[in-house]
Amino acid sequence: MSLDLAAIRAAHSRIAPYIHRTPVLTSATLDALCGGSLFFKCENFQKIGAFKARGAANAVFSLTDAEAKNGVATHSSGNHAAALARAARLRGIPAHIVMPTNAPRSKIESVRRNGGIIVLCEPTLAARESTCARVMAETGARLVHPYNDYAVMAGQGTATLELLEQAPHLDLVIAPVGGGGLLSGTAVAAKGAKPGIKVIAAEPADADDAARSFAAGRLIPLEKSSTIADGLRTSLGEKNFPLVRHNVDAIVTVSEESIVAAMRQIWEVMKIIIEPSCAVPYAAIMETRIDVKGKRTGIILSGGNVDLDALPWMKR
């Protein structure tokens, strides 16, 4: 099994009752600044505040009753954790969420509010993986990986299917890249539904494993990253990489400063709340890493979950 347009269309029918069809917003001010037409797909308004609601719902509702009966499990300290908890609650099955003891309180609360069973572990990748393996062995729960999973990718791709219905004449789509779940889904959906469209990924220079892997033609894992775009501090998945290689036209990187500037400009001009990871594609436009002049460009705004007591410009 891999990922194709048919799988993304099937995912969209499957998850439609459980997700928002999010609006596409435009801004005359930002269009004037960049010299092109920008169409922002507002997944920050999605359930649980991020596109992750789509992939988790598709993974959970793709399971047979026999596969689903012992629940699902994942290790994540981010939006996927809340999304999986929510999808499992909607299906009426347990979700075991392994989270590090140092996860932000707001993220733990979000999982709890969505009915997830939280299993805390030491804040290392080894501890997260071993704890998750133990939970799965004890409960029979099935793993739903945040991005290295075709059902998850198909779900994430549904945002682009909607975007292309809402703004049919796009020349280009830009998505952020971390593990590659969103990017794989976006690229396969866009190229499948509209051959000839360009797909460009934007990545923090401080977490540039996807750009380096893409250039080298082989997976180069991410070393430690402290990018403010915390949702993108993951290495490209092995199932994601071939899909990215074959369907993405370019991967560009942006500085930490421009991520913060882009986030702030979108808050100020568009009056919407986006998280740092979500600002990365627009940062690439501000840095003129992507030529959008005279073009119609779709941008996946990935999420809006921020800690209002710790905004990037407060720290300065």
CA 223 – CA 276 distance, rounded (Å):
20
Of 77, 225, 237, 230, whose CA–CA distance to 147 is shortest? 237
Minimal distance, residue 35 CB to a copy of itself, in Å: 18
Residue (of 28, 267, 36, 48) closest to 174 by Cα position: 36
The minimum distance between CB 103 and a copy of itself, in angstroms, equals: 18
In this structure, what are the phi and psi dihedrals at residue 162, rounded to the nearest 5 degrees?
-65, -45
Judged by CB, which is closer to a copy of itself: 6, or 16? 16
Q: Nearest approach, Cβ of 129 to a copy of itself (angstroms)?
A: 32
Smallest gap, in angstroms, from Cβ of residue 303 to a copy of itself?
9
- Which of 250/311 has CB closer to a copy of itself? 311
Question: In Å, how far from its chain's centre is CA 132?
Answer: 21
- Neighbouring residues of 49: CB distance < 8 A, sequence distance ≥ 6: 79, 303, 304, 305
Which residue's CB is nearer to a copy of itself, number 137 or number 314?
314
When the beta carbons of 250 and 272 are compared against a copy of itself, the nearer one is 272
For 73, the enclosing helix (H) or strand (E) is: strand 72-75
- 34 or 200: CB nearest a copy of itself: 34
Pairing of strands 117-121, 95-100: parallel
| Cα–Cα distance, 279 to 25 (Å, whole number) | 15
DSSP 141: P
| Cα gap 230→179, rounded to integer Å | 12
Of 23 and 140, the one with the shorter C-beta distance to a copy of itself is 23
Residue 19 or residue 243: which is nearer to a copy of itself going by CB? 19
Positions touching a copy of itself (CB under 8 A) are: 23, 25, 44-45, 49, 264, 267-268, 270-274, 304, 308-309, 311, 313-314
Least separation, in Å, of the C-beta of 50 and a copy of itself?
10
Q: How far is the CB of 135 from a copy of itself (least distance, A)?
A: 29
172 vs 149: CA distance, rounded Å = 25
Checking DSSP bridges between strand 37-42 and strand 72-75, what pairing results, if any? Answer: unpaired
